[in-house]
A and B are shown apart, each in its own frame.
Chain A
Amino acid sequence: MSRTYLFVDEDGKLLAYLSLCNDAIRLEFEERDNMSLPYATIPAMKVARLAVDITKRGMGTGYYALQFAVYVAQAVRDYSGVVFLTLDCYGHRVSYYERFVFRRNLYQPVLLDYDSPVSMRLWIDEYLAGQSQ
């Protein structure tokens, strides 16, 4: 279902892992209008899993893994359309991903629990434009 990548340091220690799969997200009309996207459902690549070893937090490994995800999405775009990088995360991680310019999707899956994950997206074009400035 997904492809998993290991981030290993020079001593052979596993610092983090990242799993990627394909996705599509539904946008509300106002979001589509703001981005000039004519379709209700937009192709994306999903960060299905991202975890950093507890002994290696705060070293930028998660940020590096997300940059790698953007790199993979760019590579896929040579062959198939990908507009967003998406992920689902719990509330305590939302601010972390917002620092990477992920935004909450207006359309959220039906939530049954108070602590259901938050659906977020990163617009790849916007992110890359920000990086080049």
Chain B
Amino acid sequence: MTDYEILRLSEENKYLTGGFTCVETDSMLTEYTSKERRRIRRHSKDMDNFLHSEAFD
């Protein structure tokens, strides 16, 4: 079990978000059709964008 620290996103810890991505690789989506893969990746990119540009607003 990994030990976690939970931090409220703030100016002081915003640097932690830099390397984060939840966009799946091809090998993680082999069970889905190409159309489904596109939709899943589009949503995951939106999740990344939110963290990097909107969450702090």
Q: Which A residues have a C-beta under 8 Å from some C-beta of B?
A: 1-10, 12-15, 17, 19, 49, 51-54, 57, 59-61, 64, 68, 90, 92, 115
Contact = CB atoms under 8 A, between A and B. Distances in A.
Contacts, number: 85
Contacts of A7: 4-6
B25 interface: yes
B41 to A, nearest CB: 11
A17 to B, nearest CB: 6
Nearest to B29: A92
A13 B44 CA distance: 19
A51 B51 contact: yes
Interface size class of B (residues with CB under 8 A): 20 to 34
A10 B3 contact: yes
Given A51-B44, A51-B47, A60-B1, A8 B7 contact: yes
A3 B32 CA distance: 32
B40 A92 contact: yes
Interface string B1-28: 1111111110001001101111111001
Contact of B5 (A8, A19, A60, A92): A8
A53 B3 contact: no
A53 B4 contact: no
B22 A54 contact: yes
A59 B2 contact: yes
A40 B20 CA distance: 40
B8 A4 contact: yes
B22 A6 contact: no
A126 B53 CA distance: 36
B51 to A, nearest CB: 6
Nearest to A71: B6
B4 A15 contact: yes
B23 A54 contact: yes
